[in-house]
Amino acid sequence: MDYNLSKLEEVEDIRTVWANEALNFTPWLANEGLESLCETIGMSLEFVSREERNVGGIADILCKETGTDRNVIIENQLEPTDADHLGRILSYASALEAKTIIWIATKFDEQYSSTLDWLNRVTDEDLNFFGIEIHAYTIDNSLPAPQFKIVVCPNEWQKQTKATQKGELTDTKLAQLEYWQGFCNYIQNSQHKLYKPHSPRAQHWCNISIGKGSFDISCTVNSQSNIISVTMIFPQKYYDQLKKYEVDFQKEMPLPVSWVEKGKKSNSKKSQVSVSVEYDFQDENTRQEQYEWFKDICDRFFKFFQKKIKSLKEPDKSDK
Protein backbone atom coordinates (compact mmCIF):
# COMPACT_ATOMS: atom_id res chain seq x y z
CA MET A 1 0.00 0.00 0.00
CA ASP A 2 1.36 3.41 -0.99
CA TYR A 3 0.96 5.98 1.79
CA ASN A 4 2.54 8.78 -0.27
CA LEU A 5 4.85 9.89 2.54
CA SER A 6 7.84 12.20 2.36
CA LYS A 7 11.27 11.79 3.91
CA LEU A 8 12.70 14.14 6.50
CA GLU A 9 16.24 15.09 5.45
CA GLU A 10 18.80 16.89 7.58
CA VAL A 11 20.65 19.88 6.14
CA GLU A 12 24.25 18.69 6.04
CA ASP A 13 25.87 22.13 6.01
CA ILE A 14 24.18 24.28 8.65
CA ARG A 15 25.84 27.38 7.17
CA THR A 16 23.53 27.18 4.18
CA VAL A 17 20.83 28.17 6.68
CA TRP A 18 22.84 30.72 8.68
CA ALA A 19 25.88 31.85 6.71
CA ASN A 20 27.52 33.68 9.59
CA GLU A 21 27.33 32.98 13.30
CA ALA A 22 27.50 36.58 14.54
CA LEU A 23 25.54 38.21 11.72
CA ASN A 24 22.86 35.58 11.12
CA PHE A 25 22.58 32.86 13.74
CA THR A 26 22.92 34.91 16.94
CA PRO A 27 20.34 37.55 15.83
CA TRP A 28 17.89 34.77 14.89
CA LEU A 29 18.46 33.02 18.20
CA ALA A 30 17.88 36.25 20.13
CA ASN A 31 14.51 36.78 18.44
CA GLU A 32 12.27 34.10 16.91
CA GLY A 33 14.68 31.33 17.83
CA LEU A 34 14.39 32.16 21.52
CA GLU A 35 10.78 31.00 21.72
CA SER A 36 11.67 27.64 20.21
CA LEU A 37 14.60 27.30 22.60
CA CYS A 38 12.34 28.07 25.58
CA GLU A 39 9.89 25.38 24.51
CA THR A 40 12.73 22.89 24.09
CA ILE A 41 14.30 23.38 27.52
CA GLY A 42 11.08 24.16 29.41
CA MET A 43 12.08 27.62 30.62
CA SER A 44 10.76 31.14 30.12
CA LEU A 45 13.49 33.57 29.11
CA GLU A 46 13.44 37.32 28.63
CA PHE A 47 16.00 38.63 26.14
CA VAL A 48 18.28 41.30 27.62
CA SER A 49 21.14 41.89 25.21
CA ARG A 50 23.47 40.53 22.55
CA GLU A 51 27.24 40.65 22.83
CA GLU A 52 27.08 41.44 26.54
CA ARG A 53 30.49 42.72 27.62
CA ASN A 54 31.83 41.53 30.97
CA VAL A 55 35.18 40.96 32.66
CA GLY A 56 35.23 37.45 31.20
CA GLY A 57 34.79 38.65 27.60
CA ILE A 58 31.68 39.08 25.43
CA ALA A 59 28.74 36.74 25.98
CA ASP A 60 26.71 36.00 22.84
CA ILE A 61 23.30 36.45 24.48
CA LEU A 62 22.21 37.49 27.97
CA CYS A 63 18.67 36.67 29.17
CA LYS A 64 16.70 36.75 32.38
CA GLU A 65 14.59 33.86 33.64
CA THR A 66 11.01 35.06 33.88
CA GLY A 67 9.73 34.96 37.44
CA THR A 68 13.14 34.87 39.12
CA ASP A 69 15.06 37.58 37.22
CA ARG A 70 18.16 35.35 37.35
CA ASN A 71 20.79 35.74 34.65
CA VAL A 72 20.95 33.18 31.84
CA ILE A 73 23.77 33.19 29.29
CA ILE A 74 23.67 31.58 25.85
CA GLU A 75 26.89 30.78 24.06
CA ASN A 76 26.39 29.61 20.49
CA GLN A 77 28.64 28.37 17.73
CA LEU A 78 28.02 27.06 14.21
CA GLU A 79 30.65 24.37 14.66
CA PRO A 80 31.40 21.43 16.98
CA THR A 81 32.19 22.09 20.63
CA ASP A 82 35.74 22.99 21.60
CA ALA A 83 37.82 23.87 24.65
CA ASP A 84 37.81 27.58 23.87
CA HIS A 85 34.02 27.84 24.13
CA LEU A 86 33.96 25.71 27.29
CA GLY A 87 36.32 28.20 28.89
CA ARG A 88 34.16 31.07 27.71
CA ILE A 89 30.94 29.81 29.24
CA LEU A 90 32.61 29.31 32.61
CA SER A 91 34.17 32.77 32.50
CA TYR A 92 30.90 34.44 31.48
CA ALA A 93 28.93 32.51 34.08
CA SER A 94 31.26 33.72 36.81
CA ALA A 95 31.42 37.33 35.60
CA LEU A 96 27.64 37.67 35.13
CA GLU A 97 26.68 35.45 38.09
CA ALA A 98 24.51 33.38 35.75
CA LYS A 99 22.36 30.60 37.20
CA THR A 100 21.69 28.90 33.85
CA ILE A 101 24.28 28.37 31.13
CA ILE A 102 23.15 27.23 27.66
CA TRP A 103 25.84 26.10 25.22
CA ILE A 104 24.63 25.58 21.64
CA ALA A 105 26.76 23.94 18.94
CA THR A 106 26.32 21.85 15.79
CA LYS A 107 27.82 18.78 17.51
CA PHE A 108 28.73 17.91 21.08
CA ASP A 109 31.86 15.83 21.46
CA GLU A 110 31.71 13.35 24.31
CA GLN A 111 34.40 15.07 26.37
CA TYR A 112 32.37 18.28 26.53
CA SER A 113 28.99 16.67 27.11
CA SER A 114 30.62 14.66 29.93
CA THR A 115 32.00 17.88 31.40
CA LEU A 116 28.55 19.50 31.46
CA ASP A 117 27.07 16.35 32.98
CA TRP A 118 29.70 16.49 35.69
CA LEU A 119 29.01 20.18 36.37
CA ASN A 120 25.31 19.43 36.74
CA ARG A 121 26.10 16.67 39.23
CA VAL A 122 28.53 18.54 41.45
CA THR A 123 26.84 21.96 41.55
CA ASP A 124 23.77 22.77 43.63
CA GLU A 125 20.23 22.79 42.24
CA ASP A 126 20.32 26.55 41.51
CA LEU A 127 23.05 26.20 38.87
CA ASN A 128 22.10 24.57 35.56
CA PHE A 129 24.07 23.64 32.44
CA PHE A 130 22.48 22.81 29.08
CA GLY A 131 24.27 21.36 26.07
CA ILE A 132 22.17 21.71 22.91
CA GLU A 133 22.81 20.85 19.27
CA ILE A 134 21.29 22.92 16.49
CA HIS A 135 20.05 21.06 13.41
CA ALA A 136 17.89 21.90 10.40
CA TYR A 137 15.65 19.65 8.29
CA THR A 138 13.76 19.82 5.00
CA ILE A 139 10.92 17.83 3.42
CA ASP A 140 10.76 17.61 -0.38
CA ASN A 141 13.05 20.62 -0.90
CA SER A 142 11.06 22.76 1.53
CA LEU A 143 12.51 25.68 3.44
CA PRO A 144 14.77 24.43 6.25
CA ALA A 145 13.16 24.00 9.66
CA PRO A 146 15.52 24.50 12.63
CA GLN A 147 15.44 22.07 15.52
CA PHE A 148 17.16 22.08 18.90
CA LYS A 149 18.31 18.74 20.29
CA ILE A 150 19.08 18.49 24.00
CA VAL A 151 22.31 16.58 24.59
CA VAL A 152 22.89 17.58 28.22
CA CYS A 153 20.42 19.05 30.66
CA PRO A 154 20.17 19.48 34.42
CA ASN A 155 18.09 16.62 35.72
CA GLU A 156 15.45 18.55 37.61
CA TRP A 157 13.83 15.41 38.91
CA GLN A 158 17.06 14.07 40.37
CA LYS A 159 17.97 17.44 41.87
CA GLN A 160 14.56 17.86 43.44
CA THR A 161 14.67 14.29 44.70
CA LYS A 162 18.05 14.92 46.29
CA ALA A 163 16.73 18.12 47.84
CA THR A 164 13.72 16.21 49.18
CA GLN A 165 15.93 13.49 50.65
CA LYS A 166 18.04 16.14 52.35
CA GLY A 167 14.93 17.87 53.65
CA GLU A 168 15.68 20.98 51.61
CA LEU A 169 12.22 21.25 50.02
CA THR A 170 9.52 22.66 52.27
CA ASP A 171 6.05 21.16 52.40
CA THR A 172 4.82 24.11 50.33
CA LYS A 173 7.45 23.53 47.64
CA LEU A 174 6.57 19.85 47.47
CA ALA A 175 2.89 20.77 47.16
CA GLN A 176 3.70 23.20 44.34
CA LEU A 177 5.68 20.58 42.45
CA GLU A 178 2.89 18.02 42.76
CA TYR A 179 0.30 20.64 41.77
CA TRP A 180 2.07 21.63 38.54
CA GLN A 181 2.78 18.02 37.65
CA GLY A 182 -0.94 17.43 37.84
CA PHE A 183 -1.68 20.55 35.81
CA CYS A 184 0.75 19.57 33.04
CA ASN A 185 -0.79 16.10 32.92
CA TYR A 186 -4.26 17.66 32.74
CA ILE A 187 -3.27 19.85 29.76
CA GLN A 188 -1.52 16.96 28.03
CA ASN A 189 -4.61 14.78 28.33
CA SER A 190 -7.06 17.47 27.21
CA GLN A 191 -8.40 17.27 23.67
CA HIS A 192 -7.88 20.96 22.90
CA LYS A 193 -4.13 21.60 22.86
CA LEU A 194 -3.19 25.16 22.02
CA TYR A 195 0.03 25.14 24.01
CA LYS A 196 2.33 23.10 26.21
CA PRO A 197 3.28 24.28 29.73
CA HIS A 198 6.93 24.33 30.63
CA SER A 199 8.33 21.52 32.74
CA PRO A 200 6.83 21.53 36.27
CA ARG A 201 9.11 22.73 39.05
CA ALA A 202 8.85 23.32 42.79
CA GLN A 203 7.82 26.97 42.55
CA HIS A 204 4.64 29.05 42.67
CA TRP A 205 4.36 29.51 38.90
CA CYS A 206 4.22 27.50 35.68
CA ASN A 207 4.74 29.35 32.40
CA ILE A 208 3.51 28.93 28.83
CA SER A 209 5.18 30.55 25.79
CA ILE A 210 2.92 32.68 23.64
CA GLY A 211 3.95 33.71 20.15
CA LYS A 212 7.16 35.65 20.75
CA GLY A 213 10.31 35.62 22.87
CA SER A 214 10.01 37.54 26.18
CA PHE A 215 6.21 37.00 26.22
CA ASP A 216 4.76 34.40 28.57
CA ILE A 217 1.48 33.36 30.10
CA SER A 218 2.21 32.63 33.74
CA CYS A 219 -0.08 30.50 35.92
CA THR A 220 0.55 31.26 39.59
CA VAL A 221 -0.67 30.10 42.99
CA ASN A 222 -0.53 32.11 46.22
CA SER A 223 -0.75 30.04 49.38
CA GLN A 224 -0.98 33.10 51.65
CA SER A 225 -3.91 34.85 49.98
CA ASN A 226 -5.49 31.67 48.53
CA ILE A 227 -5.59 33.18 45.05
CA ILE A 228 -4.65 31.64 41.72
CA SER A 229 -3.93 33.83 38.71
CA VAL A 230 -3.18 33.83 35.01
CA THR A 231 -0.88 36.66 33.94
CA MET A 232 0.53 37.60 30.57
CA ILE A 233 4.01 39.03 31.15
CA PHE A 234 5.61 41.12 28.42
CA PRO A 235 8.22 43.86 27.81
CA GLN A 236 7.07 47.24 29.05
CA LYS A 237 7.86 48.89 25.71
CA TYR A 238 4.85 47.14 24.12
CA TYR A 239 2.41 48.22 26.81
CA ASP A 240 0.74 51.03 24.84
CA GLN A 241 0.26 48.84 21.75
CA LEU A 242 -1.47 46.13 23.77
CA LYS A 243 -3.41 48.43 26.12
CA LYS A 244 -5.57 49.58 23.21
CA TYR A 245 -7.18 46.13 23.28
CA GLU A 246 -8.23 46.52 26.92
CA VAL A 247 -11.97 46.94 26.28
CA ASP A 248 -12.15 44.13 23.72
CA PHE A 249 -10.20 41.74 25.92
CA GLN A 250 -12.39 42.45 28.95
CA LYS A 251 -15.41 41.36 26.89
CA GLU A 252 -13.71 37.96 26.39
CA MET A 253 -13.06 37.40 30.10
CA PRO A 254 -15.47 36.20 32.83
CA LEU A 255 -13.64 38.19 35.54
CA PRO A 256 -12.11 41.69 35.89
CA VAL A 257 -8.80 42.13 34.09
CA SER A 258 -5.92 44.01 35.72
CA TRP A 259 -3.38 45.94 33.63
CA VAL A 260 -0.09 46.97 35.25
CA GLU A 261 2.62 48.99 33.52
CA LYS A 262 5.44 48.09 35.87
CA GLY A 263 8.19 49.96 34.06
CA LYS A 264 6.88 53.38 35.06
CA LYS A 265 6.92 52.68 38.80
CA SER A 266 9.95 50.43 39.27
CA ASN A 267 13.14 49.21 37.64
CA SER A 268 11.27 46.30 36.07
CA LYS A 269 11.05 46.23 32.27
CA LYS A 270 8.03 43.93 32.37
CA SER A 271 4.35 44.82 32.25
CA GLN A 272 1.46 42.47 32.83
CA VAL A 273 -2.19 41.69 32.25
CA SER A 274 -3.77 39.38 34.80
CA VAL A 275 -6.95 37.67 35.97
CA SER A 276 -7.35 36.14 39.44
CA VAL A 277 -9.84 34.07 41.40
CA GLU A 278 -10.01 32.77 44.97
CA TYR A 279 -8.84 29.18 45.37
CA ASP A 280 -6.64 27.35 47.84
CA PHE A 281 -4.26 25.45 45.56
CA GLN A 282 -3.75 22.82 48.28
CA ASP A 283 -7.47 22.03 48.44
CA GLU A 284 -7.64 18.68 46.66
CA ASN A 285 -11.44 18.80 46.58
CA THR A 286 -11.32 21.71 44.10
CA ARG A 287 -8.16 20.63 42.26
CA GLN A 288 -10.05 19.65 39.09
CA GLU A 289 -11.98 22.94 39.13
CA GLN A 290 -8.73 24.87 39.42
CA TYR A 291 -7.16 23.07 36.48
CA GLU A 292 -10.29 23.68 34.42
CA TRP A 293 -10.21 27.37 35.36
CA PHE A 294 -6.52 27.68 34.45
CA LYS A 295 -7.08 26.02 31.08
CA ASP A 296 -10.13 28.17 30.27
CA ILE A 297 -8.38 31.45 31.10
CA CYS A 298 -5.13 30.44 29.38
CA ASP A 299 -7.12 29.49 26.27
CA ARG A 300 -8.74 32.94 26.25
CA PHE A 301 -5.39 34.72 26.64
CA PHE A 302 -3.78 32.59 23.97
CA LYS A 303 -6.57 32.96 21.40
CA PHE A 304 -6.92 36.71 21.91
CA PHE A 305 -3.28 37.79 22.06
CA GLN A 306 -1.18 35.35 20.02
CA LYS A 307 -1.65 36.95 16.60
CA LYS A 308 -1.62 40.45 18.07
CA ILE A 309 1.73 39.80 19.72
CA LYS A 310 3.28 38.53 16.50
CA SER A 311 2.23 41.72 14.70
CA LEU A 312 3.65 44.13 17.29
CA LYS A 313 5.97 46.82 16.00
CA GLU A 314 9.24 47.75 17.63
CA PRO A 315 8.66 51.13 19.34
CA ASP A 316 10.77 54.10 18.27
CA LYS A 317 13.56 54.88 20.71
CA SER A 318 12.11 58.38 20.96
CA ASP A 319 8.81 56.99 22.28
CA LYS A 320 8.26 57.46 25.97
One DSSP character per residue, 151-212 reads EE---HHHHHHHHHHTT-S-HHHHHHHHHHHHHHHHHHHSS--S--PPPP-SSSEEEEE-SS
Choose one of 154, 181, 199: the last residue of a domain. 154
Whether 14 and 129 share a structural domain: yes
Output the average pLDDT for the chain.
86
In a domain, 315, yes or no: no
In a domain, 134, yes or no: yes
% residues pLDDT > 70 (the chain): 89
- Tens digits of residue pLDDT in 144-157: 999 999 999 887 64
Whether 126 and 36 share a structural domain: yes
Choose one of 130, 154, 178: the last residue of a domain. 154
Residue 239, pLDDT > 80, answer yes
Average pLDDT over residues 166-177: 75
Whether 71 and 197 share a structural domain: no
Choose one of 131, 154, 177: the last residue of a domain. 154
- Is residue 182 packed enough to be buried (19+ CB in 10 Å), middle (13-18) or exposed (0-12)? middle
| Domain boundaries, position 246 | 160-310
Whether 166 and 150 share a structural domain: no
Residue 320, pLDDT > 50, answer no
pLDDT of res. 162: 54
Distance CA 180, CA 228 (A): 12
Domains identified in the chain, total number: 2
pTM: 0.62
Residue 269, pLDDT > 90, answer no
The overall longest dimension of the chain from CA atoms, in Å, is 66
In a domain, 320, yes or no: no
- Tens digits of residue pLDDT in 275-317: 999 999 999 999 999 999 999 999 999 999 989 998 888 877 5
Whether 264 and 164 share a structural domain: yes
What angle (nearest 5°) sits at the alpha carbon of residue 208, between those of residues 205 and 214?
100
Residue 105 is part of a domain; what is its CATH number? 3.40.1350.10
Residue 196 is part of a domain; what is its CATH number? 3.30.1460
CB proximity list for 5: less than 8 A, separation 6 or greater? none
pLDDT of res. 195: 81
Whether 94 and 61 share a structural domain: yes
Three-state SS letters, 36-73: HHHHHHCCCEEEEEEEEEECCEEEEEEEEECCCCCEEE
In a domain, 319, yes or no: no
Whether 211 and 257 share a structural domain: yes
In a domain, 91, yes or no: yes
Lowest-confidence pick of 180-184, 228-232, 260-264 = 260-264
Residue 264, pLDDT > 70, answer no
pLDDT of res. 24: 94
Distance CA 320, CA 317 (A): 8
Whether 198 and 88 share a structural domain: no
At 268, the pLDDT band (50, 70, 90 cuts) reads low
CA-to-CA separations, 258 to 140, 215, 253, in angstroms, rounded: 48, 17, 11
Residue 131, pLDDT > 70, answer yes
In a domain, 3, yes or no: no
Residue 116, pLDDT > 90, answer yes
Whether 185 and 77 share a structural domain: no
Which of 5-9, 56-60, 177-181, 242-246 is modeled with the greatest confidence?
242-246
Whether 150 and 175 share a structural domain: no
Whether 167 and 121 share a structural domain: no
In a domain, 176, yes or no: yes
Whether 50 and 192 share a structural domain: no
In a domain, 82, yes or no: yes
